[in-house]
Amino acid sequence: MDLIFHITSRHEADEASRSGTHVPRDFEREGFVHCSYGHQLAAVADRLFRGRTDLVVLQIDPSRLAAPVILENLEGGTELFPHVYGPIPMTAVVEIHPFQP
């Protein structure tokens, strides 16, 4: 499976680096971690994070995840996005990139 990407705040990424696991604030409500493929990042960022300056992108190797990655679109569109149904261990994060939509 291709690398996947998750946009988060620098603060949440720093907390995850300290704890060893990334659990987004909305994980309990959503039940999964929203991710994208590289070609989807710009559109997702422009739609959801426009104007933010505190962001990073976690570059994730799905083969290092224990949780399942499900390709789906829960908003009714045809484009599929990878959703991780569990926390992200930082051992699965290949790189953390500064990011500004």
- 101 residues of the chain, pLDDT tens digit each: 699 999 999 999 999 999 999 999 999 999 999 999 999 999 999 988 988 999 999 999 999 999 999 999 988 889 999 999 999 999 999 999 998 87
d(CA 13, CA 22): 7
* Residues forming a β-bridge with 43: none
The reported pLDDT for the residue numbered 1 is 66
d(CA 6, CA 36): 6
Residues 17 and 91 sit within 8 Å (Cβ to Cβ): no
Instruction: State the pTM of this model.
Output: 0.92
Q: What domains appear along the chain, each with residue ranges and CATH number?
A: 4-99 (3.20.170.20)
The reported pLDDT for the residue numbered 101 is 73
The reported pLDDT for the residue numbered 77 is 83
